[in-house]
Chains A and B, each alone.
Chain A
């Protein structure tokens, strides 16, 4: 494709519920909107591949369930809205001035936007236990992604470990799809059953959600999938996963397995807001960083807003309403609607967000991560790209490093292919433990473009770069020996 969009009024990054809802509403309000998304079709994490999967008449459709099917209406409204759509497109930078670095079909170009809504969603919380880098260990969400995207179901002995609704949802989906599920290891403090029942009066309007969760558990019990309350998990194996061991009921267990799916919730995908140096806050309840936003999702950076899980985990339903709030604010700032209209239209969306927040608060307390944030043994790998262990990092901290970026410069942790996504939280936690200081003062990796790896060839041929943007320096011209 040639340089597709050099300009747009509103750029939206991410085509999950937040991005789809924001794009549809903004376009309906007359804003010239373009949605960029890495995936081939609308849906994001939760409604991945929704259009094609809803047309299926086989088992997969039922396996994915009724909640999943709700995504179709969002995708359809987005398609009708007239918003521009750039699928299979990675955004590798967003500058404070609203310039997006776009990579599409092996070519890169820049797009200047009047306003940007980041709807980049969440990623699974990294799960650094002994052996977690062995082939055969992956996120439960990632396994679900394979199932949604290409109908792939595990066919080798599989164990699921972790806590939170997604753990049980995926277990249930895998069971229904016929995967050889050899065990569930629940790592939460209490079970969904106890916590859920206790909280029921408070959460009456969410009884449906709770019952759904309980129904998965009942189904798994009926199918006699072995169930454990486990701690201190370890993935064992020489060149790939062979077994999972853990403490339960006062002794150590060891279950042979070829696939271990782990999950303890999701955390905001904040690479772009971090690279923009937006203000971030450490959310104690969610044990994660998220960008600080106002009630419209606007960040501390003038042109940039965040909607959906990227602004703090609140789930797919909430993402829709947060997307619309950000779209209303964008339409107002771009002169399409008045403040009064914005505020009026916002009322139902805001009520919906508040309602979801109550449920979220319950989930946060019920599913506080345990294994994914536990004390790391010295030989456990903290940074998987550069294979830096917790012990190596502790040794450096005791030599006097007090800032996370010093550790990075010295040990290369966070310098690899994932650009620190996988280890930023773990390394910060390690530091704050060792220094007995809070996570905020330890800070976050300094990130710069590209937030997704960018081929040299694409940068060399970057369409429409402003080559004259070089600031003039008052130095002697023309003599290479004066090279800086």
Chain B
């Protein structure tokens, strides 16, 4: 039987990053991934690296993540860092198309300042047009976080995976965890291709993380959703920042390749058992309308593809990060509710801190599993 000191369940960005940081701390993690690395949310998301308009509880974590994004070289080495295609400092902008949205921007910036955060500013129509020359007249201004940007999600996840492997992490793809048992000798991890033993387990199971938790009798909301993106054919370069809607459903950016990725909360039909999701034309209309209204230049563009990814959704829209409430030596990191890619480089290091030191320098109390976990198993 394979035995190690750490098993990470899930080969998304958080699983790979967690394994990487555990390895940096001298452990020999094994990542178990039922499909292939980056197959789900981490490989197919919109790649938005955004502090803009985040939940206040997430801001410290998100700011720490931003530092890591800007110093990917340190963590990954120059080649793998470059592969992530991270572009920062171009800004993400929430576009306001109504007076009410402009008011909301003012209030939001004031609130964030009162919490000591100054990374957001309100911009007027003139500044908006300077940054986004193609914006239509109905765009009145908005809110910006200038440090934000985007990266290539699949390549980023791949870089974290390769770095982890360089540090001795073993990744087992097409290996599904089917059961967890804790005994005196640690964890027995049952998979569809054999049994493993480990001292600790980290649950980075994404949309299926609640199922992993249920294996030890710890119950989280099973809510999940399928976020949909659509992409246009290549367009001449016309926009640098990423823009998102405030009251409207929109997230929008032009990639290096010239294609435009449109999303921001269009919902597909998730199918957790089939491990995929369908996109639904009826619900893509609203985003297409917003694009049509905000960016006249795109009216002639054609949509060539759409896709959807499965993502866990917590009722308060912030993740679960912390130790299990029912078992020792098991930690959770999931429930990123649609915006966990930006947190990709940081959560793994927080988990490694929790595992090794029992605490993290970044405030994470708001993410405690205790806010949901209704234990039915026997605490050990």
Segment at the A interface, from B179-187, B278-286, B342-350, B352-360: B278-286
Report whether A416 and B304 are in contact in the complex, using a CB–CB cutoff of 8 Å.
yes
8 Å CB interface, B288-332 against A: 288-289, 291-292, 298-308, 311, 313, 315-317
Report whether A467 and B303 are in contact in the complex, using a CB–CB cutoff of 8 Å.
no
Inter-chain CA distance A484–B311, complex, in Å, is: 10
Min CB gap B270→A, angstroms: 9
Q: Within 8 Å of chain A (Cβ to Cβ): is B267?
A: yes
- The residue in chain A whose Cβ has the minimal distance to the Cβ of B158 is A410
Segment at the A interface, from B38-46, B209-217, B371-379: B38-46
Min CB gap B194→A, angstroms: 19
Min CB gap A452→B, angstroms: 9
Most central of A409, A446, A456, A471 by chain B CB within 10 Å? A456
Q: Within 8 Å of chain B (Cβ to Cβ): is A240?
A: no
Min CB gap B319→A, angstroms: 12
Q: Within 8 Å of chain B (Cβ to Cβ): is A218?
A: no
Interface string of A465-484 (1 = CB under 8 A from B): 11101110111100011111
Q: Within 8 Å of chain A (Cβ to Cβ): is B351?
A: no
Report whether B281 and A473 are in contact in the complex, using a CB–CB cutoff of 8 Å.
no
Inter-chain CA distance A95–B279, complex, in Å, is: 9
Interface of B is mostly: mixed
Query: With A446-B307, A460-B285 known to touch, is A453 a contact of B233 (CB < 8 Å)?
Result: yes
Residues of A within 8 A of B6 (CB): none
Interface string of A79-119 (1 = CB under 8 A from B): 00000000000000101100101000000001000000000
Min CB gap B210→A, angstroms: 14
Report whether A455 and B303 are in contact in the complex, using a CB–CB cutoff of 8 Å.
yes
Report whether B281 and A467 are in contact in the complex, using a CB–CB cutoff of 8 Å.
no
Residues of B within 8 A of A242 (CB): none
Interface of A is mostly: loop
Q: Within 8 Å of chain A (Cβ to Cβ): is B191?
A: no
- The residue in chain A whose Cβ has the minimal distance to the Cβ of B306 is A448
Report whether B289 and A448 are in contact in the complex, using a CB–CB cutoff of 8 Å.
no
Interface string of B43-54 (1 = CB under 8 A from A): 110000000011
Query: With A450-B304, A484-B339 known to touch, is A409 a contact of B232 (CB < 8 Å)?
Result: no
Determine which of B38, B43, B304, B316 lies in contact with A419 in the assembled complex, contact meaning CB atoms within 8 Å.
B304
- The residue in chain A whose Cβ has the minimal distance to the Cβ of B271 is A277
Query: With A448-B305, A467-B282, A484-B337 known to touch, is A409 a contact of B38 (CB < 8 Å)?
Result: yes
Report whether A417 and B303 are in contact in the complex, using a CB–CB cutoff of 8 Å.
no
Q: Within 8 Å of chain A (Cβ to Cβ): is B341?
A: no
Report whether A473 and B223 are in contact in the complex, using a CB–CB cutoff of 8 Å.
yes
Report whether B104 and A480 are in contact in the complex, using a CB–CB cutoff of 8 Å.
yes
Determine which of B231, B298, B303, B315 lies in contact with A475 in the assembled complex, contact meaning CB atoms within 8 Å.
B315
Residues of A within 8 A of B192 (CB): none
Q: Within 8 Å of chain B (Cβ to Cβ): is A412?
A: yes
Report whether A96 and B300 are in contact in the complex, using a CB–CB cutoff of 8 Å.
no
Determine which of B223, B274, B283 lies in contact with A470 in the assembled complex, contact meaning CB atoms within 8 Å.
B283
Report whether A453 and B304 are in contact in the complex, using a CB–CB cutoff of 8 Å.
yes
Interface residues on B, range: 35 or more
Q: Within 8 Å of chain A (Cβ to Cβ): is B10?
A: no
8 Å CB interface, A390-443 against B: 399, 401-403, 405-406, 409-410, 412, 415-417, 419
Q: Within 8 Å of chain B (Cβ to Cβ): is A3?
A: no
Inter-chain CA distance A474–B281, complex, in Å, is: 22
Report whether B267 and A457 are in contact in the complex, using a CB–CB cutoff of 8 Å.
no
Min CB gap A324→B, angstroms: 31
Report whether A450 and B298 are in contact in the complex, using a CB–CB cutoff of 8 Å.
no
Q: Within 8 Å of chain A (Cβ to Cβ): is B265?
A: yes
Residues of A within 8 A of B308 (CB): 448
Residues of A within 8 A of B54 (CB): 481
Min CB gap B192→A, angstroms: 16
Q: Within 8 Å of chain B (Cβ to Cβ): is A449?
A: yes
Report whether A455 and B300 are in contact in the complex, using a CB–CB cutoff of 8 Å.
yes
Inter-chain CA distance A405–B247, complex, in Å, is: 34
Report whether A474 and B304 are in contact in the complex, using a CB–CB cutoff of 8 Å.
no
Residues of A within 8 A of B305 (CB): 415, 419, 448, 450
Residues of B within 8 A of A52 (CB): none
Determine which of A412, A417, A474 lies in contact with B315 in the assembled complex, contact meaning CB atoms within 8 Å.
A474
Determine which of A399, A406, A483 lies in contact with B264 in the assembled complex, contact meaning CB atoms within 8 Å.
A483
Report whether B298 and A456 are in contact in the complex, using a CB–CB cutoff of 8 Å.
yes
Query: With A480-B247, A484-B337 known to touch, is A455 a contact of B307 (CB < 8 Å)?
Result: no
Min CB gap B142→A, angstroms: 11
Inter-chain CA distance A469–B247, complex, in Å, is: 19
Q: With A456-B232, A467-B285 given, name 7 new contacts (CB 8 A).
A: A448-B278, A449-B281, A455-B299, A455-B302, A473-B223, A482-B317, A483-B53
Give chain A's interface residues, CB within 8 Å of chain B: 93, 95-96, 99, 101, 110, 277, 399, 401-403, 405-406, 409-410, 412, 415-417, 419, 446, 448-450, 453-457, 459-460, 462, 465-467, 469-471, 473-476, 480-484
Q: List 12 A-B contacts (CB under 8 A).
A: A95-B278, A417-B233, A455-B299, A456-B288, A457-B292, A462-B281, A466-B282, A469-B280, A471-B267, A473-B225, A474-B315, A482-B317
Give chain B's interface residues, CB within 8 Å of chain A: 35-36, 38-39, 43-44, 53-56, 94, 104, 108, 154-155, 158, 162, 173, 221, 223, 225, 227, 231-233, 244, 246-247, 257, 264-265, 267, 269, 274, 276, 278-286, 288-289, 291-292, 298-308, 311, 313, 315-317, 337-339
